[in-house]
């Protein structure tokens, strides 16, 4: 039986911007090796796999080389396709069972809001020199949330011009590293880039899950519970962030680029 698959640009309202994700709808669970092989074939930063499981929707995410515990843009893409394809009613919330517990998505006008766990960083001064060598720049503050490093650098211009040593980044004991600073424009509160070569993603265009760390960090520094962030990759993307106790609500838009069927 053919398997429906979509490619969606997430955290953008323009095709070929934001972060592309593949969304694959399965009629029954497939083994992890098959999903990993398909993710490698798609060669996007994430491929999402969904199937019905005991009345709910099971969601798993794979990079080209590894399964991950949490992914924002592929969850946003999955919810967008559920609504756009009519698999879910326009006013219904999307609910996903994942390795990070239940995650929900709701439509708010043209935006989609994801309810994710907050993952604030703890100061990680012992790793500061190692991060500076990996990123090739001075770091103002280093943090770690158990999954990713956070490195605040001196300016948004530094963020945009970073040319990290990807081998050194891959050797860090983390999924990846978010380099960030205050924004230099009034449109955004902070900017970032995210590097995760250790899991097959040299630079992720827009990383929703990293904002589970970035949001609480910048919320504390700026004294805000609502912020708008820009991920300054080549493709670029906008993430709205709202802090709600131990949760982070991430807002974004999405565009379906193409749909098709797998014959395998």
Known catalytic residues? 46
- Please report which helix (H) or strand (E) contains residue 178, including its range: strand 176-182
157/31 Cα distance (integer angstroms): 44
Q: Where are the alpha helices (DSSP H) in 49-97?
A: 72-84
229/231 Cα distance (integer angstroms): 7
Contact 81, 255 (CB under 8 A): no
Residue 76: is it exposed, middle or buried by C-beta count within 10 angstroms (0-12/13-18/19+)? buried
∠ Cα 73 215 211 (to 5°): 20
Could you tell me which residues come within 8 angstroms of residue 235 by beta carbon, excluding any fewer than 6 positions away?
Answer: 12, 16, 17, 18, 19, 205, 206
Would you say the C-alpha torsion 256, 114, 204, 78 has a positive or negative sign? negative
Q: What are φ and ψ of residue 112, in 5° steps?
A: -115, 130
Q: What is the longest distance spanned by two Cα atoms in the chain?
A: 54
Contact 57, 50 (CB under 8 A): yes
């Amino acid at each position: 039986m053919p398997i429906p698959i979509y490619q969606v640009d997430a955290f953008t309202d323009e095709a070929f911007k934001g972060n592309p994700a593949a969304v694959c709808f399965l009629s029954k669970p497939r083994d992890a090796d098959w999903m990993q092989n398909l993710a490698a074939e798609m060669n996007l930063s994430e491929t999402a796999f969904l199937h019905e499981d005991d009345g709910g929707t099971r969601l798993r995410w794979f990079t080209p080389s590894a399964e991950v515990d949490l992914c924002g843009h592929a969850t946003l893409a999955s919810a967008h396709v559920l609504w756009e394809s009519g698999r879910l009613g326009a006013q219904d919330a999307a609910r996903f069972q994942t390795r990070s517990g239940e995650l929900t998505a709701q439509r708010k006008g043209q935006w989609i809001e994801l309810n994710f766990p907050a993952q604030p960083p703890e100061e990680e001064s012992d790793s500061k020199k190692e991060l500076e060598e990996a990123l090739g720049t001075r770091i103002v503050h280093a943090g770690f949330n158990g999954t990713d490093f956070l490195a605040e650098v001196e300016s948004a211009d530094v963020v945009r011009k970073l040319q990290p040593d990807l081998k050194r980044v891959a050797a860090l004991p983390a999924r990846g590293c978010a380099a960030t600073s205050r924004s230099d424009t009034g449109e955004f509160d902070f900017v970032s880039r995210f590097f995760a070569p250790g899991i097959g993603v040299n630079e992720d265009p827009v990383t929703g899950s990293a904002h589970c760390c970035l949001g609480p960090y910048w919320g504390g520094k700026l004294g805000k519970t609502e912020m708008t962030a820009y991920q300054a990759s080549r493709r670029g993307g906008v993430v709205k962030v709202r802090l709600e106790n131990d949760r982070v609500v991430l807002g974004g838009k999405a565009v379906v680029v193409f749909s098709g069927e797998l014959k395998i």
